[in-house]
Amino acid sequence: MIVTARVVHAADAVEINTYEQLREIDSDSSQLQTDAIQVICEALGAQQNEVTNITVLKKGMTNRSFLFSCKDKKYIMRIPGEGTDQLINRRQEAAVYQTIAGRRICDEIAYINPENGYKITEYLEGARVCDAENEEDLQKCMKKLREFHGQKLRVDHSFDLFGQMESYESLWEGTPSAYKDYETVKRDVETKEEYIEQLIKIIEEKCKKIKLIRMESEESKIHKNNTFYVDKTKGEIECYPIERKLLYAIWKISKKDTIIEDKYYLENIVLSDLLNAGNNIQKVEPIRDFNHGQH
């Protein structure tokens, strides 16, 4: 059967690509009566005609978001994608936002629903991610992180990294990973869990300050151009920005000056230094290779 096309004059047809265009043509359309718009109106105390300049944002892996204006301010509304409730605990997320509210740690929350994950935040003009190659950016980020940790904020739940990985894996329902080396990488990661936990504990309990020093800078000459310096008394580490050296320094700050008892003290303490160095290296190696999938 051949279906002939209906010819319509261009003057009688209108192309609709955006929410705003639909509103202009048919403000009473049922397509405009979405729960998202209703949530916005209730949360911001606005009428539908005050919600304008709606633009869909393409960024984000799991959510659908759009930018809009209301009462001379810009906002972003996040609508969780299908199935994300299995990946993210929205109640815990809401609890975190409630704890950090008003502390200028993140964008200001105008509305968040712990049941369905709908979230409205104030739009930040000119915001961008940190430039890892810009030293000034890194210094600002590290300063902010220190301030954040210094506040010692607490919530009633904890984030179990390895437990979360197992939870994600359970969603496969027995289906093997699409990545051929998944099982190999998984075994390697699991062997690192204890080391990572120990590393975090050392930083929390022993390190009060970690300062990265640029090579060939004036500061690098303070300690005879050593690649790192550890002051156990003050709990401070100064180190070149070299991952292996920093890990070594962190393990070193957690150890005693010597692992040889006084009664076996040797006038030549080279052996003691050697044993301590070997002990530290043993701890560093598994962590250093974390990103390389080595055993």
pLDDT band at 261 (very low <50, low <70, confident <90, very high): very low
Q: What is the token pair recorded at 68?
A: 């809009």
Query: How far apart (Å, rounded) are the C-alpha atoms in residues 234 and 206?
Result: 9
User: What are the pLDDT digits (tens) for 38-81?
Assistant: 899 999 999 988 998 888 887 666 788 889 999 999 999 998 88
pLDDT of residue 203: 86
Query: How far apart (Å, rounded) are the C-alpha atoms in residues 12 and 14?
Result: 7
Averaged pLDDT of the chain? 77
Q: What is the mean pLDDT of residues 214-237?
A: 77
- Dihedrals phi, psi of 240, to nearest 5 degrees: -65, 155
The answer on pLDDT for 35 being more than 60 is yes
pLDDT of residue 64: 85
Residue 5 or 80, more confident: 80
Place of tokens 């044993």: 275
Query: How far apart (Å, rounded) are the C-alpha atoms in residues 28 and 51?
Result: 15
Residue 16 or 210, more confident: 210
User: What are the pLDDT digits (tens) for 121-132?
Assistant: 999 988 888 998
pLDDT of residue 294: 43
pLDDT of residue 23: 60
pLDDT band at 153 (very low <50, low <70, confident <90, very high): very high
